[in-house]
C-alpha cells in the first residue's frame, strides 16, 4: 500500500484505480425484509466532490471544523465522511444506538458545526437545535427534512467539485466518542496517520485484494467497523457489503460472493450454534461430526458461504475459545483480533485462521510494539502498546490523556494478559473497569453507577461485569438506604431486591439499552457498606467475582 498523506489522498487514488469496486449497504424494506443500495468507487468519488463543494460554499465548513454523522452504514454516510475529509474537517461519527441525551451531549462536547443525520434520528437533533450553540446546520438523508432544515437533495444541488484542502498526517481526521453519557464519555482524537497505518497493517495481515468481497454487520460509527469495513476495502479495491440481515448471512455471502465475514462474538456464537443444530438434525451428519468431523468440512463451508469463502474476522469483544475451535474444526477459518478505540483500533490478529491456539488474540501487527508491565494491584501484568496507530489524546481532556498515555508514547490498555514463547498475546482480564459485551459494545460502570446512584433508595452502588449463561452482562452490587426503605414499610430481604429492581427499570431509560441491567438476577444486595480505601474509593476488586451463574429466574 502506498504511503498516503491523508484519507482524501487514499480515496482519490483507489477510486481511480478500482472504479468498478463498490459499497453495498442494506436498508430495511417493509415488503421483503431488506433492500440494498450500491455505490461504485467511481460514483463515490464524484459524489464526494459535490458534497465537499456544498460543505464549503453553503455551510462554510473548513479546516479543523467538526462534521457529525448519525446513521447506519449507507452510501451517503460514506460520501459524507470523505467529503468532510476533503475540506479538512474532522468527522464525529455518533453511534446510531446512543440515546437522545447521548447524541445531543456528543454534538455539544465535540463542537460540531454541521450534522448529517439519517431521517429517523433527525428529530433528536432538531428538537434541541437552538440549544446546541456550535451547531449551525443540519442536513437529513433518507427521508423528508422538517421545516427550516435542509434535505440531502438540496445539499447536493450543485454539480461543482471542490479540490482537496492541504492536510498533514498529524491532523485529526476522526473524533470517536467511546461513550456519551453523564460526563464520562471521552472523545478519542485519531489522526490521518493513526488510521492509515492501521489500515495498512490490517490489510497486510488479512491479505486483502481487489478480488475480495468483505461482508460485515459492523456499523461505521464504531472504530472497528469504520477501519475494517470502510477504509480497508476502499484502500485495496475490495468490494464491501454491509447487511442488517443477520439471520440470512449464508445467503448474503453466497449472493455477493463474499470472501471475508467481519463480525463480533455474538454473531459467531449464533452461527456456530445454528451450524451445530443443522448437523445434529440428521443421524448420519451427527455420526460423521462425532467420529470423523474432517469429512464434513467442505460440505459445511459450501453451505455456509460458498467455495469462495476465506475466513471470519472477529473483534470488538473476547471470542469464546469453544466457538473459535468449533468453527475451525468444521472448516470455517476464524481470525481473532484485539484492539481499542484509542489504537485505531487493531493491535493484534491471529495470522492463521486455522490456528490451534484457541484463546489467543494473536501477535502484534507490524507497526505495533507490545509489552507487559507489573501493576500494584493483585499482582497482574498490564498490556502496554506503542505505535503510530495510538491516538493523539482525548479531546480537551489532558488529565485523562496523561493517565493512559506516557510521554514516550506507551499507551496503557487497562487489560491484563501474558505473552507466550511465540509472541502471541493471551488476555486474562482487565485492570480497568470497562465491561465488554459480546455485541462489542463497551459499558463504563461509572456511567451506569451515576444513573443508579440517583435513586433515593440506593445508598451505594458498584456496577461490574457479571456472567450469565457464559456471557458477559451488566450487573450491580447495591447497598440500599435501609432507613428510607423502612420508612416506606419495606424490610424483608426478598422484597427489598424486588422493589429496587422495579425502581432500576424505571430510572434507567436515559441509558442506552445495551448499558442497562437486564434482569433481577444481575443484582446483588449488600447488608453493609462497601469496603473503601483511605481516599474513600470502593475496593472494587473485592466485589469483582462473577458470582453464581444462575439460570433459574427469581
Question: Between these two residues, 532 and 94, which has the higher pLDDT value?
Answer: 94
116-140 tens-digit pLDDT = 999 889 889 988 888 888 999 999 9
Q: What is the pLDDT of residue 31?
A: 65
pLDDT at 424: 96
Provide the pLDDT confidence category of residue 484 given band limits of 50, 70 and 90. Answer: very high
- SS3 of residue 98 by DSSP: coil
Mean per-residue pLDDT for 344-353?
Answer: 95
CA dist., res. 199 & res. 232, Å (int): 5
Q: What is the pLDDT of residue 547?
A: 39
Report pLDDT for 16. Answer: 95
Under the banding of pLDDT at 50, 70 and 90, the label for residue 432 is confident
CATH at residue 504 = 3.30.300.30
CA distance 395 to 383: 23
- Of 199, 232, 265, which marks where a domain is finished? 232
Please report the pLDDT score of residue 157 as a whole number. 63
Query: What is the arithmetic mean of pLDDT over 194-220?
Result: 94
In a domain, residue 280? The reply is no
> Over the range 52-73, which residues count as b (16 or more CB within 10 Å of their CB) and which as e?
bbbbbebbebeeebbbbbbbbb
pLDDT at 180: 43
Tell me: the pLDDT tens digits for 148-171?
A: 677 777 777 666 766 767 788 999
In-domain check, residue 42? yes
Per-residue pLDDT at 30 = 66
**What is the tens place of the pLDDT at every residue in 400-413?**
999 999 999 999 99
pLDDT exceeds cutoff 80 at 429? no
> Band of the pLDDT at 545, cuts 50, 70, 90?
low
Q: Measured between alpha carbons, how far apart are the two ends of the chain, in Å?
A: 56
Which residues form the domain of 520? Answer: 444-543
Residue 301's pLDDT band, with cuts at 50, 70 and 90, is: confident
DSSP string across 361-397: -BEE-TT-EEEEEE-SSTT-EEEEEESTTS-SEETT-
Q: What pLDDT, on a 0 to 100 scale, did the predictor assign at position 533?
A: 57
Query: Predicted confidence band at 246 (pLDDT cuts at 50, 70, 90)?
Result: confident
Q: Does pLDDT of 9 surpass 90? A: yes
Write down the pLDDT at residue 179: 60
Who has greater pLDDT, 310 or 180? 310
Whether residue 384 contacts residue 413, with contact meaning beta carbons closer than 8 Å, is answered with yes
Chain centre to alpha carbon of residue 238: 22
Give the residue ranges of DSSP H helices in 207-264.
223-226, 232-235, 249-255
- What is the chain's mean pLDDT, rounded? 88
Q: pLDDT at position 554, please?
A: 30
Q: Which of the two residues, 206 and 411, has the higher pLDDT score?
A: 411
How far is C-alpha 319 from the chain's CA centre? 15
Neighbours of 133 (CB within 10 A): 8
Answer whether residue 59 is part of any domain.
Answer: yes
pLDDT confidence tier of residue 257, bands split at 50, 70 and 90: very high
Strand 66-70 relative to strand 114-118, pairing: parallel
Residue 181 has pLDDT above 80, yes or no: no
Chain-centre distance of CA 165, in angstroms?
Answer: 30
C-alpha separations of 404 from 165, 216, 391, 463 in Å? 33, 31, 11, 22
Query: What strand order describes the sheet that includes 66-70?
Result: 150-151, 137-141, 114-118, 66-70, 90-94, 172-177, 187-191, 393-394
Answer whether the bond into residue 416 is a cis peptide, omega within 30°.
no
Whether the per-residue pLDDT at 491 is higher than 90: the answer is no
81 close to 52: Cβ distance less than 8 angstroms: no
Name the band, by pLDDT with cuts 50, 70 and 90, for residue 302: confident
Q: Is 311 helix (H, G, I), strand (E, B) or coil?
A: strand
- Across 292-302, average pLDDT: 81
Please say whether the dihedral angle defined by the alpha carbons of residues 198, 204, 209 and 210, taken in this order, is positive or negative. positive
Q: What is the dihedral angle through the alpha carbons of 390, 396, 397, 401, rounded to the nearest 10 degrees?
A: 20
Q: Find the CATH number of the domain harbouring 55.
A: 3.40.50.12780
Q: Is the pLDDT of residue 234 over 60?
A: yes
> What CA–CA distance (Å, rounded) separates 212 from 333?
16
Please state the three-class secondary structure of 166-219 as a single string: CCCCCCEEEEEECCCCCCCCCEEEEEHHHHHHHHHHHHHHHCCCCCCEEEECCC
Please state the rounded mean pLDDT for residues 188-215.
95
In a domain, 484, yes or no: yes
Output the pLDDT for position 528. Answer: 92
| Cβ neighbours, 10 Å, residue 437 | 20
User: Is residue 312 included in any domain, yes or no?
Assistant: no
Helix %, strand %, coil % for the chain, to 5? 35, 25, 40
pLDDT at 72: 93
Rg (CA), the chain: 24
Q: What is the pLDDT of residue 102?
A: 85
Confidence class for position 493, pLDDT limits 50, 70, 90: confident
State the pLDDT at residue 215. Answer: 97
370 assigned to some structural domain: no
Q: Which of 167, 197, 232 is the last residue of a domain?
A: 232
367 — pLDDT class (breaks 50, 70, 90): very high
Confidence of residue 442 (pLDDT cuts 50, 70, 90): confident
For 377, other C-beta atoms within 10 Å of its C-beta total: 11
Tell me whether residue 552 is exposed, middle or buried, using C-beta atoms within 10 angstroms of its C-beta: 0 to 12, 13 to 18, 19 or more: exposed
The mean pLDDT value for 346-351 works out to 95
- Report the pLDDT averaged over residues 331-350: 95
Count of beta carbons in the 10 Å neighbourhood of residue 494 = 9
Total structural domains in the chain?
A: 2
Amino acid at each position: 500500500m502506498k504511503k498516503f498523506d491523508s484519507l482524501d489522498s487514499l480515496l482519490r487514488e483507489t477510486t481511480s484505480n478500482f472504479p468498478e469496486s463498490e459499497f453495498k449497504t442494506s436498508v430495511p424494506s417493509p415488503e421483503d425484509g431488506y433492500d440494498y443500495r450500491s455505490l461504485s468507487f467511481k460514483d463515490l468519488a464524484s459524489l464526494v466532490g459535490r458534497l465537499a463543494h456544498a460543505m464549503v460554499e453553503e455551510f462554510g465548513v473548513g479546516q479543523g471544523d467538526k462534521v457529525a454523522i448519525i446513521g447506519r452504514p449507507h452510501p451517503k454516510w460514506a460520501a459524507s465522511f470523505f467529503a468532510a475529509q476533503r475540506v479538512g474537517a474532522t468527522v464525529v461519527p455518533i453511534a446510531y444506538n446512543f440515546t437522545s441525551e447521548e447524541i445531543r451531549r456528543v454534538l455539544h462536547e465535540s463542537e460540531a458545526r454541521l450534522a448529517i443525520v439519517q431521517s429517523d434520528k433527525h428529530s433528536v437533533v432538531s428538537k434541541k437545535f437552538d440549544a446546541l450553540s456550535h451547531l449551525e446546520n443540519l442536513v437529513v438523508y433518507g427521508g423528508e427534512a422538517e421545516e427550516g432544515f435542509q434535505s440531502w437533495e438540496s445539499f447536493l444541488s450543485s454539480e461543482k467539485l471542490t479540490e482537496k484542502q492541504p492536510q498533514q498526517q498529524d491532523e485529526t481526521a476522526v473524533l470517536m466518542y467511546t461513550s456519551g453519557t453523564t460526563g464520562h464519555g471521552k472523545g478519542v482524537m485519531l489522526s490521518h496517520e493513526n488510521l492509515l497505518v492501521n489500515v495498512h497493517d490490517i490489510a497486510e495481515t488479512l491479505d486483502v485484494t481487489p478480488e475480495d468481497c468483505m461482508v460485515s454487520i459492523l456499523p461505521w460509527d464504531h472504530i472497528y467497523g469504520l477501519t475494517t469495513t470502510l477504509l480497508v476495502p476502499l484502500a485495496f479495491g475490495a468490494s464491501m457489503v454491509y447487511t442488517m440481515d443477520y439471520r440470512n448471512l449464508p445467503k448474503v455471502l453466497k449472493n455477493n460472493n463474499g470472501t471475508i465475514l467481519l463480525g463480533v462474538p455474538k454473531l459467531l456464537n449464533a452461527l456456530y450454534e445454528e451450524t451445530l443444530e443443522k448437523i445434529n438434525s440428521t443421524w448420519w451428519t451427527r455420526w460423521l461430526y462425532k467420529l470423523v468431523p474432517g469429512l464434513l468440512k467442505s460440505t459445511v463451508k459450501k453451505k455456509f458461504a460458498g467455495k469462495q469463502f476465506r475466513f471470519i474476522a472477529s473483534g470488538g469483544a473476547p471470542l469464546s475459545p469453544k466457538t473459535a475451535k468449533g468453527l475451525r474444526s468444521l472448516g470455517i477459518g476464524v481470525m481473532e483480533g484485539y484492539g481499542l478505540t484509542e489504537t485505531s483500533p487493531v493491535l493484534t490478529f491471529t495470522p492463521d485462521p486455522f490456528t490451534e491456539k484457541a484463546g489467543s488474540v494473536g501477535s502484534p501487527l507490524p507497526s505495533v510494539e507490545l509489552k507487559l508491565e507489573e501493576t500494584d494491584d493483585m499482582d497482574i501484568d498490564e498490556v502496554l502498546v506503542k505505535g503510530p496507530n495510538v491516538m493523539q489524546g482525548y479531546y480537551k481532556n489532558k488529565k485523562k490523556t496523561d493517565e493512559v498515555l506516557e510521554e514516550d508514547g506507551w499507551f496503557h490498555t487497562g487489560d491484563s494478559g501474558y505473552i507466550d514463547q511465540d509472541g502471541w498475546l493471551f488476555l486474562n482480564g482487565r485492570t480497568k473497569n470497562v465491561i465488554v459485551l459480546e455485541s462489542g459494545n463497551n459499558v463504563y460502570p461509572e456511567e451506569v453507577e451515576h444513573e443508579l446512584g440517583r435513586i433515593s433508595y440506593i445508598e451505594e452502588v458498584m456496577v461490574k461485569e457479571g456472567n450469565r449463561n457464559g456471557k458477559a452482562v451488566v450487573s450491580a452490587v447495591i447497598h440500599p438506604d435501609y432507613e428510607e426503605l423502612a420508612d416506606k414499610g419495606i424490610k424483608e430481604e426478598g422484597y427489598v431486591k424486588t422493589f429496587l429492581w422495579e425502581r432500576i427499570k424505571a430510572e434507567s431509560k436515559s441509558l442506552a439499552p445495551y448499558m442497562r441491567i437486564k434482569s433481577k438476577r444481575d443484582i446483588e444486595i449488600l447488608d453493609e457498606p462497601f469496603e473503601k480505601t483511605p481516599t474513600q474509593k470502593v475496593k472494587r476488586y473485592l466485589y469483582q467475582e462473577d458470582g453464581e451463574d444462575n439460570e433459574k429466574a427469581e
